[in-house]
Structure 1
């Protein structure tokens, strides 16, 4: 079956448009993956957001002088569509030789265009480099499980049967790993990231979580869908009181994507990790 992204410019040789063109943006419907996961698109078992950071943002002032900046973009997890990443990069490139009067104008244009493609309100913040420089690099919360002594040979398909818990022991803890790796479903390019699991419920076996995350190593899927799969597998196993799963992925082409999924509403700080 053809992947929906194969209709986009992803993985194809393209020219770079340098004049503003919102038509470059390409949506990918989330409902097909939701159906594959067996969840109701009208009653999602989580809430959340996809936080994008754009590091290669530039345009021209009315005088013709270039501006460089960064942008933070938040796409609701319930939006009908994912914004396909290569189309997003091409769209940002189309701003390079386009003239805008102010940061506020660029922010408004991006929010309007991305909202139209996602099908739900998208928030955009434009930052100066000086503002971005004040944002510290942080470490993920809780226990790093990367030193767990495990043996594993499965890498091409997420294997939820690897996950183990102790229902008789109830805990509240945060776990993280930097060994998350998956691949683009169209181009096969690697996507590297760090994963954090925060939960309250039956005690999760740390070694089993690490083995499970490593089983994604050659799996092909989008960032958002990998995080949703992890959330759903953990939710089914633990039946927790609370569960939050998020990943901080490394950038490709000047963009990083950081999906958050949770059983409850979150106050999210967009804080970068050392590899970002």
Structure 2
């Protein structure tokens, strides 16, 4: 099986993707099903342009529905953990990712390693389409004998959801954010299970838990919780929501250090968990929450 040649994705819009459309499910390997979308337009809305960004990070994907045939025709199954660097020029639209994974169902591969290598090559091509590949996609297959070691845990941190606040804004309201710069610099980790947004194209709900870790002037907890709730009727992809949260907190609260990590519930056998950080650090472990 050889990689295909594809066109540059510049100018491609989300509505051109398979989202919200009736799709035939191919069961033979087809990398052309992957639909890359450029990150640049949504970043431009946040005042971000060019190669220099105020954050680094990755999008952590888990694929729960992956199967292929071995050389004797026997079905094989695995989970896939995928780490997409945030510097890739494109994201991959999630329904196209699901269709692509389904195309492995009746395709023969010599080994799990062959599947892993093919996934990495195809995803790298789509994510960097139109540019030279500058960093690799992290990819690991978990075979059935490893399934029992998959953990479930909550995000660490002080829960904002304990606060009894009045919420009246349901589209992003960055004016709710604030920090007391008359106080000493502190470090804390805050979490909430109340983040909800909607798919940019279909309007279907996307549910998430979010973790915000920072060093700086104390951020107002009530305002931060109300701000996170304000995404409730907002239409944007997961990666875009996390970058919007990062930039709003970064510009409004002016912390010295900041990281934002959201774990979204799975849809179509995939979960997407974006993480953005102002400073170099190890990415979070791809460990699912109870809702995922």
Partner SS, residue 204 of structure 1:
coil
Q: CA deviation at 1:191?
A: 0.3
Q: CA deviation at 1:35?
A: 1.1
Q: For 1:118-197, what aligned pairs fall within 5 Å after superposition?
A: 118-119=127-128, 120=133, 121-155=136-170, 157-169=171-183, 170-197=185-212
Give distance in 2, aligned partners of 1:127 and 1:109.
15
Contact 2:177-2:253 within 8 A present in 1 as well: no
Q: Which residue of 2 aligns with 1:24?
A: 33
Give distance in 2, aligned partners of 1:26 and 1:251.
19
Give distance in 1, aligned partners of 2:257 and 2:46.
20
The answer on 1:271 being equivalent to 2:267 is no
Give distance in 1, aligned partners of 2:178 and 2:250.
12
TM-score of the two chains, using structure 1 as the length reference: 0.97
Contact 1:16-1:94 within 8 A present in 2 as well: yes
Residue among 214, 222, 235 paired with 2:229: 214
Q: Which residue of 1 aligns with 2:4?
A: none
Contact 1:182-1:219 within 8 A present in 2 as well: yes
Indicate the RMSD between aligned Cα atoms, in angstroms: 1.2
Contact 1:34-1:41 within 8 A present in 2 as well: no
Q: Which residue of 2 aligns with 1:200?
A: 215
Deviates more, 1:245-254 or 1:158-167: 158-167
Q: For 1:231-246, what aligned pairs fall within 5 Å after superposition?
A: 231-246=246-261
Give distance in 1, aligned partners of 2:138 and 2:211.
24
Deviates more, 1:260-269 or 1:219-228: 260-269
Q: How many residues align?
A: 274
Residue among 57, 60, 75 paired with 2:66: 57
Q: Which residue of 2 aligns with 1:251?
A: 266
Partner SS, residue 136 of structure 1:
coil
Q: CA deviation at 1:90?
A: 0.1
Cα deviation, 1:165-214, whole Å, max 9, x if unaligned, reads 11122210000000000000100010000000000001011111110000
The answer on 1:115 being equivalent to 2:124 is yes
Give distance in 2, aligned partners of 1:189 and 1:238.
31
Higher fraction of strand: 1
Q: CA deviation at 1:242?
A: 1.1
Deviates more, 1:66-75 or 1:259-268: 259-268
Q: CA deviation at 1:267?
A: 1.5
Partner SS, residue 182 of structure 2:
strand
Q: Which residue of 1 aligns with 2:6?
A: none
Q: CA deviation at 1:3?
A: 8.3
Q: CA deviation at 1:133?
A: 2.0
Give distance in 1, aligned partners of 2:182 and 2:241.
29
Give distance in 2, aligned partners of 1:146 and 1:129.
36
Contact 2:67-2:78 within 8 A present in 1 as well: yes
Contact 1:3-1:186 within 8 A present in 2 as well: no
Q: Which residue of 2 aligns with 1:37?
A: 46
* Structure 1: gaps (5+ residues): none
Shift in alpha-carbon separation, 1:106–1:3, aligned structure 2, 3 A: closer
The answer on 1:80 being equivalent to 2:94 is no
Contact 2:12-2:37 within 8 A present in 1 as well: no
Give distance in 2, aligned partners of 1:84 and 1:152.
31
